[in-house]
Every structure is written in C-alpha cells, then in structure tokens.
Structure 1
C-alpha cells in the first residue's frame, strides 16, 4: 500500500469496494475532529532497563517520535479515545490496513439490510488471526444510579467518546439502574526501521452515557463501573511485603489505559525485548477482558434469578417487556460466544510460535470456562422463554375470562331493564297509565310478569332443551314406526 499519492481517507473509501466491512470506518472518518486523544508510550531501550517508563505525548509530536527508533528495541504506543484525524495519521505513518481500524471502530450489529456487517462478522476467524489483528470485544457493566430518571428514557444509549459505543439499559434491580456498554481493545504489531511498534487502542472510561431524544436534543446521565471494575488477576503480595508494594499496586482500574500501563511495568509471559510476539503483547489485554467477561456472566446469573422470581409472581410482575428482555439476553449470549470464539481462534493460531505455552494453555482454559458459562445460560434461556410465553398467555386468558364475566353481568342488568323500559314505553301512550293516575297499577301487573318470563327464558339452557327435543322427536318417530308395523301385521 502507498499512502503518498492519496490520503488515508481516500484509501479507506476505495477499500469499501473490495471490503464492504470497512464502510463504517469510512463513515467515521467523515465525522468531526472529536475530542483530544490520550497517547502514552512505553519504550524498551537497547540499554536494557527492566521497567519502561510511561510517557504522555502530544499528537503533534507523534510523527517525529515514531521516526526516532534507532536507540530502542521497540515501543508500545497506547492510544485512548482515538479520534478520526489520529486514525488517518497513524494509518499513513504505520502503513496500517484499514480493516484493523474498522474492527475497532465498527462494533455495532446493525441490521444487514441497512449496513454491511463489521469485520468481526464479515471475515472468518482464521482471516483475522493470520493478519495479526487482535480485537478484544467485551461488555462492561455500568451502574447508572437510581432508576427514577430512566422511567421514560430509551433502552438504547451511547457512550460519550470519539467512537460512540452502544449502551443498553437493563431492567432495574434492587432499586439500581444497570446498563451494559460495549467496549473494544485492539492490538497491532508493526516493524519500522529495524524496531517494532505495538499499537494498542483502548476505549476511555464510560463516565457519561448519552440519550438522544426524539426532538434531537441530548440528555446525559452519569455512570460508573459496577463494583469499581474487574478483579486483579496478578497474584497478591504477601502480608510481610504488603506495605512496600501498596503504592505500586494502586491504579485507576476504571481506565483500561491506566490498567495496561500498570501491568506493562512487568514483562508479560513470552516477552522477548528484541522481537516480542503478538501474543505476548496481548497477554495483559486478554486477561483484563476475561476478567470483564466474568463480571458479565455473574450479571447474567443475577438476571436469571430475577426472571425466575417474576415467573413465580406472575400476577404482579410478569409483563410482555420481560419476554422482550429474555429475547435480548439470548441474542447477547450468542454474540458474546462469537466474540470469545474469535479470541480462542486467535490464540490457537499463534500459540505454536510461543516457547512457553503453559500461560496460554491456562488462558485457553479460562476462555473455555467463560464460554461454558455462556452456553449454560443460553440453554437456560431456551427453556425459560417458552415457559414465560406460556405464563403470559395464561395471564391473558385469565384476564379475558374476567372481562367475559363483567360482560355477562352487564347483559344480566340489560335483561332486567329492557322489559321494564319496553312496558313503560307501551303505557306511555296514554296518560291514564302514567304515575299518579288510577290505572298505574296496570304497569306493574304487566311489566313484572314480562320481566319474569324474560329472566326465565335467559336462564334456560337451550342446548339441553334442544337435546331433549331431539330425543323426544326420535322417540316419537320410533313409536310411529312401531304403530305402522302393527297396522301392517293386522
């Protein structure tokens, strides 16, 4: 690829002809400039310092920084909240395939008739693996606080970032409003002038979620990660050395960027400074994402418990919206399994090149563990949805029966008043039968027997009467045939 004769935006636009999955990236690059991105570098000098020092740089210095690689083995370039202009700049400098940026930017599962699928769905897992594009798609559990402001809000929300991620509002739990936010961490390794550069793209912490109203206005809600984020997967310090390492182990777990800077202070398994592998760079991001998936599976377990209670209390809690939520959970479960399968295929593809395979065998077991949990909940969903649907149908039938009972009561009232009103209209033709005159008693003498006859006729089981008439007719016909036979014999 040659970016000197054309801009990166033009290249992305031309690639839409051969790879429609990059259409979302082309649309994203046409957006505004966005807010400033955070760029942090971790250099591995040839002098051999054990722990790299993070350095925050400005976007204007990025081109000069990447060109000066003669004194280092390589550099990890961490970019948080990447904006469209920075995508074009990095694409030109590092000669990056647009499919890589498309896999990070386009994560929406839009309707197929409206937009082409993202690379994670359009390409085979083997294609993504052999190209060395590691895209870690996962879900973050957000706590939006009290559910009161969300009583009339939309189910679909967005994150407030340069790459807006989908945020889905969940049913309230114990007076709390939870939500699921999509997120992505992407890793790419490039060789430049005898050195390596590892580009890592991460999403910012979701501190605000946005709702777009029908009028076009936007409404913002504050959000935080539920329980402060994921569990630390590094072995904790012993009690004797706890005080000495406390300051080193404190970092902002709400930020993936801060977490990666913290973990990359130590070399990941299989990391060779002169020529590290893509799996060694992906070790810490993969472990962080798997920890987020564990939170997600625990949230699924909690909501299944919620829906079980709903089925037990069908009269007061089960609604049509619960059926819709169960359908959404089933769709999420299928999409989540697909994301983890892509990750498993990526690790399997690059694992033979690793000298130390034990950490990755354990990682694959952890991936299979999360997959088994998702498969278990997916099967539970398959069994729960028809049960919940039947419960709703039974509840609707019961309501229909109650409404039919009310209609029969109204019919009975009509049976009472219709004869009375008919007789009243009959006697209204003469003043002698109006109230206060001498012949008014005739109204009661006529109306009451008529009312009695109407009520008596309404209480008659006409189906039984029809059956008895049929039996009587059959009996009479038999007797007639017998009489005719006797006459013939005589």
Structure 2
C-alpha cells in the first residue's frame, strides 16, 4: 500500500496556510507540454577543473538527480515549465516546503472574497526572508505584431504552458500592439552532507498568447519578447577579440533557461565559493537578469506616461473613459512592482548579514533602489494625471449635456410654433374655402398668428416669479 504523497501533504498544509489552496488545485492538472531540464555539477575543488558544462536530462531522470548527489559537489538543477508530476517528485525527494512551489506557481490574485491571497502577499516580508528560497517576480514586455488583429481581442490573455501566466494587452503605440506578461523565477538551496543542490525554476519563452483559452472562442496570437530579450550585463568583448577571429558566444536571451546556463558556464558568480555555496550566490545571475527585465519595464512605464500626457493635451480627440481605466491599471502595476522589488531588497539585506563580500551585492541593491525610485516618480505622475483626466472627462460630459440641452430647447421652440399652427390648420381644413389660394385663406393667418403669439408669450412667462408674487399678495390680503 502506497504511503501518503506530497499532494496529500499539500492538502493537509492548506488548512494552516490557505495560500496553498491554488497549489493543491494545480497538482491535479495534467502536463500540457514537456519540461526542459538541465544540470551543472560544480566540484568543490573547482579551481583545478575546467569550466562546468551543462548536462540535459529527461523528467524520468529527476528522481536520481535530486536524491543522489556525489560527494563534494554543488549541483545546479534548472527546470523550465515544471509539470505537476515533477513538483510532486522533487518535493518528496528534497523535502521542500510547499510554499516554495506555491509562490512560483501562483502569480495572479483576483479578489479576496473568492480566493486566498498568494504567498507573496499572504506571508509577511520578514518571514519570507528567512526561507531557504528566493522568488523573483517580474513583468516581461511582449510584442504582439500590429494592432489590426486585436480589434475584437480581450484585455486579459494567457499563455498555454504547464503553469499558465497572465498576459495583459496594452493600449496601442504607433500602430504596434504591446503586452505585459507576468513571469517568475524561483531558487531553492539545500545542503546534503558534504554536497549541496540548488533548484532553479524558470518559465518557458512566450511564443503565443491565447484569448479565451480553453473555450470555443479560443484564439492564438504570435508573440515575442521585446527587442529579443534583456541587455547583457557582463563585460563586453573588445574589438581586439573581434578582430582576432574569436567566435562571439550568442544565446537565446528570450529564454531564462538558456541565459542562466550560459552565465554559469561562462564564469561563476562574484564571490562564489564552491566549498561554501549559499543561496545568494546561486541566485546572483537570475537576479541580474530579472533586474534587466525590470529596467525595460520602467522605460515602458515612462513611454506610456508620455503617451497619456499627450492624450490630456488633445482632450477633444483622444481622451476617453478607457484612458482613465488604463491610467488606473498603470497606477496599480506601479505599486505592485515597487512591492516586488522591495521584497527582493529585504531578502538580500537579510541574507547579507555579516558577510565580508558585500561590495557586488551593494551594487545590486543600488540598482534595485534606482528602479524603485523611477517607479515611484512615474507612480506620482500617474496619480496626478488620473486626477486631471477625471476632471477633464467630467467637463467633457458637462459640455455634452449643455449641448444636448440647447438642442432640446431648439426642438421645444419648433414644437411651440408647430402645434398652434397645426391646430388652427386642422380647424379650417373642414371647409374648401380656407385652402391655400382660396378667398378665405387669409382668415387662417388672422387666427393662427395671434394664437401663436399667445402660446409663445405664455411659454416665456416666469411662472415661479408670478406664483411667488401671487403668494405674497394673498398673504397681504389675508392680513
């Protein structure tokens, strides 16, 4: 008889940690694509060995890779688009806290009345800093070709992966359709005797986004990462190297998986010691990659801030209620982005402790501070634009109401003229002598024009003033 599984453990834990509810539901979903797996073994005597090489593996190999690690080896296991079966298998092998998988999988939060918040919101930052894992949540900028294909497309899109990610379609810019995709990279570290293992979970590169995923109206749209990925943060090759004929190494920067493998195989992270590895050393390259993605996101925020500033200037042509909704969305995104960066900064600050090799991490923290400051400035600008845009829309609505009232007033005048003339015409239509061209036709004007004057006079009388005057006169008579 089989014993309790990791899925059973997650179901039990969700009573104490409601934020695990979505993970418990996710573990029952079958895989829709094959996970990509690779590992690097770094000997503790790495100074006398060549650069580590990546080894690719299959899902069936993960049990052996996680349960048996050779002595004096640090193994880095990188998994792209992890499946539910692998989560259960690796969770059992490494005795991983379900909160690690939950925070990587659950990146969206709709409403508190329908579901508990994800771990990143449910657990306080001070408690998250003590965990043996770090989570890097970020926004990835996507290019979805031209705007013509998205006229009837919804705002909320999704990716079709083992772990679906939310994609949000943005307002068109220069006839180009951009989007923001939520992405995550999670790192776990554990010592096993004289060895250690680091687990890095990354998302699959986005090539298609889906509208109404899983329904009859499902539609797929091609997508690609903006500008083919982030800016390389390592020292650039010199011109001398180029002229010497040495081959420049290139890789798919749209893939977090390929980027991590590239950097770890090129050289170890700053301050990396194979004999005393800890989680910050393993997470250095993922952190640098994510900060580069955040930098592009900040520039996108700046571009949309400029876009809406021009919308406010052209009040008659471009400003609509949808612009205010978009501004409010950007304001929420800015707040959430600053919170995610603050979580990362708190984790690094807690882990540094009394370490001596703080210099390169201080530079990382300065970059985080710079990104937070930029987002704060744009957030304040968006707050001001929302107030101005709301006032402008209200003024436009008031102007529209005034124009409509003027039009109604004109129609009223037409009715006042038409009704008495039509009534008199109906009276004289009973006799042929009053028809146009007959000898008694003048009687029609002699009757209708005084009646028309009387109607116009009665409509123009200030009835409220007359009633007030009559009321005062009546009070005086009674006295």
Of stretches 433-442 and 308-317 in structure 1, the one that deviates more from structure 2 is 433-442
The reply to whether residue 28 of structure 1 matches residue 55 of structure 2 is no
Match of 2:343 in 1: 342
Q: CA deviation at 1:339?
A: 0.5
1:247 to 1:466, Cα distance in 2 relative to 1, 3 A: farther
Aligned to 1:392: 393
User: How far 1:193 moved relative to its partner?
Assistant: 4.2
Alpha-carbon distance in 1 for matches of 2:243, 2:206: 31
Q: CA deviation at 1:182?
A: 0.3
Partner secondary structure for residue 14 of structure 2: helix
Q: Which has the larger radius of gyration?
A: 1
- 1:35-434 equivalences under 5 Å are 35-46=33-44, 48=46, 49-212=49-212, 216-243=216-243, 247-265=247-265, 266-434=267-435
| 1:36 CA displacement | 0.5
The separation in 1 between residues aligned to 2:214 and 2:432, in whole angstroms, is 66
Contact 2:158 2:213 in 1 (8 A): no
Alpha-carbon spacing, 1:210–1:369, altered in 2? closer, same or farther (3 Å)? same
Structure 1 residue 377, shift from structure 2 partner: 1.1
Query: Does 2:15 match 1:17?
Result: yes
Local SS of the residue matching 1:44 = strand
Normalised TM-score (structure 2): 0.93
d(CA) in 2 for partners of 1:60, 1:248 = 35
Query: Post-superposition shift, 1:245?
Result: 8.5
- The answer to which of 76-85 and 44-53 deviates more is 44-53
Question: 1:241 & 1:354 partners in 2: Cα distance?
Answer: 36
CA–CA distance in structure 2, aligned partners of residues 453 and 208 of structure 1: 73
Q: Deviations over 1:355-407 (max 9, x none)?
A: 31000111111111111111111111221111100000001111111111111
Encode CA deviations 1:151-195: one digit per residue, 9 max, x unaligned.
111110011211101100000000000000000000000123431
Q: Relative to structure 1, is the Cα distance of residues 97 and 55 closer, same or farther in structure 2, using a 3 angstrom cutoff?
A: same
Matching residue of 2:6: 8
- Which deviates more from structure 2 when the two are superposed, residues 383-392 or residues 227-236? 227-236
| Secondary structure at 2:142 match in 1 | strand
Alpha-carbon distance between aligned partners in 1 of 2:405 and 2:125, rounded to the nearest angstrom: 57
Asked if 1 retains the 8 angstrom alpha-carbon contact of 2:71 and 2:195, the reply is: no
Q: For 2:443 and 2:81, how far apart are their aligned partners in 1?
A: 93
Distance 1:351 1:290 in 2: 18
Report how far residue 248 of structure 1 moved: 4.6
Gaps of 5+ in 2: none
Contact 2:188 2:200 (C-alpha < 8 Å) held by counterparts: yes
Deviates more, 1:238-247 or 1:223-232: 238-247
Q: CA, structure 1 residues 379+131, in 2 after alignment: closer, same or farther (shift >3 Å)?
A: same
Gaps of 5+ in 1: 478-490
Structure 1: how far apart are the matches of 2:162 and 2:334?
Answer: 27
Q: Secondary structure at the match of 1:121?
A: helix
Cα deviation per residue 1:202-222 (whole Å; 9 max; x = unaligned)? 001111101117954311100
Report the more deviating stretch, 234-243 or 77-86: 234-243
1:196–1:275 CA contact under 8 A, matched in 2: no
1:43–1:13 CA distance, 2 compared to 1 (3 A): same
CA distance in 2: counterparts of 1:140 and 1:457, whole angstroms: 69
Cα distance in 2, alignment partners of residues 16 and 289 from structure 1: 30
CA deviation string 1:313-363 (max 9, x = no partner): 010100001111111111111111111111001000111253310001111
- After superposition, the Cα gap between the structure-2 partners of 1:435 and 1:399, relative to the gap in structure 1 and judged at 3 Å, is same
RMSD value over aligned CA atoms?
A: 2.3
Residues 270 and 276, structure 1, Cα contact 8 Å, conserved in 2: no
**Equivalent position SS for 2:93:** helix
Q: Is the 8 A contact 1:165 1:182 kept in 2?
A: yes
Distance 1:213 1:282 in 2: 33
Give the conservation status (yes or no) of the 8 Å contact 2:210–2:218. yes
SS in 1 for 2:157: strand
Report which stretch shifted further, 208-217 or 150-159: 208-217
What is the CA–CA distance in structure 2 between the aligned matches of 1:191 and 1:457, rounded to whole Å?
Answer: 96
